[in-house]
Structures are given as C-alpha cells and as structure tokens.
Amino acid sequence: MVAMRMVWVVAVMMLSSLGVAQKATLLLWPNGNPEPAKVVGAETDTTTVTAAGKSVLHVTNVSQPSLTVYAPAAGKNTAAAAVVFPGGSYLRLSYTTEGTDICQWLNSIGMTCVLVKYRVPEDGHYPANVEDLEDAQQAMRITRAHAAEWGIDPHKVGVIGFSAGAHLAVTLSTHPDFQGAKVAGSTADAKPDFQMVIYPGWLTDPTGAGRVDPVLAPTLSVPPTFLVQAENDYTAHVENVLVYFEALKNAKVPAELHVYTLGGHGFGMGQKELPISGWTGLAEAWLKTIHVLGPAGAVGMP
C-alpha cells in the first residue's frame, strides 16, 4: 500500500511539472452519502505498467465520492470547464488514462478539468441504481456553485465520459433534473452545456431492437454532443454511438460523430501510431464550433 501511495504522489508531482495544477478536492457529500455505503473495505488504488512503461492507475472501493479540480496555467484560462467521468464498468475508475491524462489535455487548451470519483463498485446503473447519477448531478452543481472561485463561466460547463463514464454522462444529460429519494431538493442546474461521449457502453436498447435504450432517448433539451468510438471496439461495440447519433439527429440535437477503424476499447488519449489519437484535436475544433472555446460567435453553426 505504501508503494502504491508513493506512485500516486509521483503522479501528482509529474502532473504539476506538466502544468496541470491541482486546485481543490471536495467531497460530493460532506455530510454523508444519500444512501448507506455498500462498499466493503477501504478505497483501493492499483497501478500497472504498460509495455511502453506508462503507469496506469485504477481506483475502486470508492465510498466517499469526490471531485478534484485541475486548473489551466495562469493567463491561459478560457473560463470553460469539463466535468470528467472515468470509465471502469461501474466497478473501478481508470483514473489516469481516462482522468488525469484528460485533465492535462483540457488544461493545455485553457479549460478547467473537474475530475470525479463517483461511487464504485456499483450493482447495476440507472435506472436500477441511481447512486452514480446522484454523484454526477452533485458534481455539476458543486462546479457551478464554485464557478466564480475557480474562474469558470457557469454557462460553459460540460461533461466528458469514457466507457461506463460515457454512459453516466449521457444519463446525466438526459436526466439532469432527476430527484433522488434521499437527496435534498436543489434549484442548482445539473444539466451539462455540452457532452463528449467516448467509447460508451449500454446505450443500445437491451431488448436488441437496434435502437437507443429508451431510458436514454434524447430530447431537444440534451446538449450538443461529440461522439468517438472505434469500429473494432469488441467490449462496448460501435453500435452504441451509431444508434445514439441517429437518436440525437432525430431529436434535432447538434451532434458530431467520429468512428475509427482501429483503437479498440479504453484507448483514452489514443495510440499515437493510430489515427484515433487525433480525436482530441477534432474535439477542440468542435468546442470552438459550439462557442465553448474561442470568441463567441466566431464560428457559425450550419
């Protein structure tokens, strides 16, 4: 355990040296979770090393969900922000490849990154289990409540999710006003201003009807959406973004879809030798198109 904690400290120091500045860490539910914790045992982090020598951190047994804020360098802040949900099948969180690595990229383009540790492992997901949606709503509300303090425009706060985290992002965008039975009512807005959905799972109709899951069927109120997946994703399968894009189109929600031949599942920032590594550049251009980055109105919508 000491060795794993040392790896975590080194990772934070490396991020600081790369211009990724940790600004604040806050519990989502400082007075206790709305539901009794189901997690057995202390929060655990495990680090593996890839063939390329990269350390990959996974976190599980998260009973005290939290968010950590990473701010862009002074003078580079665009006032835009993204709340990030790492993936991990609702069992664990891929905290580096789908978390701190994403914060580093967001900071490099002048955006604040709010990295969320939501409750895992969980038995199922929305609507059977609402705890992760509650965590996602709370993370958005806290971010907007601290917008002035953190140098954020409360009208330019979106969400980025990967795999299970992408499913959570879509769930939040579809049900931002969901009211948990044990959550105090709030007038704070939990709806994202944009969503980036990266290799999502569980978006297809579980009956096999070849359409989006009716629980997640978008309406015009869903924010502009950016979708990325690899055709050879044999874990979540490319049909997830295909049916969701069609549903967004039918709901008249502005959406952009990118499907790559290679990349598999869980590629994060992408393998540099593959075209899929260019998705972040496309995402930055899209953020300018929807006026989250750059001067307002600089790029016209079609």
CATH (domain of 213): 3.40.50.1820
Which pLDDT score is estimated for 130? Answer: 96
Which pLDDT score is estimated for 148? Answer: 96
Phi, psi of 65, deg, nearest 5: -65, 150
Q: Which residue has the tokens 């895992």?
A: 120
Which pLDDT score is estimated for 1? Answer: 39
Q: What is the mean pLDDT of the chain?
A: 90
Phi, psi of 66, deg, nearest 5: -150, 175
Mean pLDDT for back-to-back runs of 10 residues, the chain (302 residues): 39 43 87 91 85 81 97 94 97 96 98 98 93 98 97 97 98 97 93 98 94 98 98 97 98 98 95 94 98 66 34
- CA 41 to chain centroid: 26
Which 8-state DSSP code applies to residue 277? G
Query: Is residue 301 one of the residues assigned to a domain?
Result: no
Query: Is residue 74 one of the residues assigned to a domain?
Result: yes
**How many structural domains are present in the chain?**
1
Query: Is residue 300 one of the residues assigned to a domain?
Result: no
Query: Is residue 176 one of the residues assigned to a domain?
Result: yes
295: left (phi over 0), alpha (psi -120 to 50) or beta: beta
Which pLDDT score is estimated for 226? Answer: 98
Say how far apart CA 71 and CA 242 lie, in whole Å.
34
What range does the domain containing 61 cover? 2-36+44-289
Say how far apart CA 194 and CA 145 lie, in whole Å.
18
Return the closest-CA partner of residue 171 out of 207, 210, 122: 122
Query: Is residue 168 one of the residues assigned to a domain?
Result: yes
Query: Is residue 218 one of the residues assigned to a domain?
Result: yes
Which pLDDT score is estimated for 38? Answer: 85
Residues ≥6 apart with Cβ < 8 Å to 251: 217, 218, 219, 220, 222
202: left (phi over 0), alpha (psi -120 to 50) or beta: left
Query: Is residue 296 one of the residues assigned to a domain?
Result: no
Cβ(137)–Cβ(172) under 8 Å?
yes
Residues ≥6 apart with Cβ < 8 Å to 121: 39, 60, 61, 90, 91, 92
Q: Which residue has the tokens 């057995």?
A: 40
Query: Is residue 294 one of the residues assigned to a domain?
Result: no
The angle subtended at Cα 273 by Cα 268 and Cα 277, nearest 5°, is 35
Residues ≥6 apart with Cβ < 8 Å to 92: 58, 59, 60, 120, 121
Which pLDDT score is estimated for 272? Answer: 87
For helices 131-145 and 164-174, the axis angle rounded to 10 degrees is: 70
Which pLDDT score is estimated for 17? Answer: 39
Which pLDDT score is estimated for 3? Answer: 41
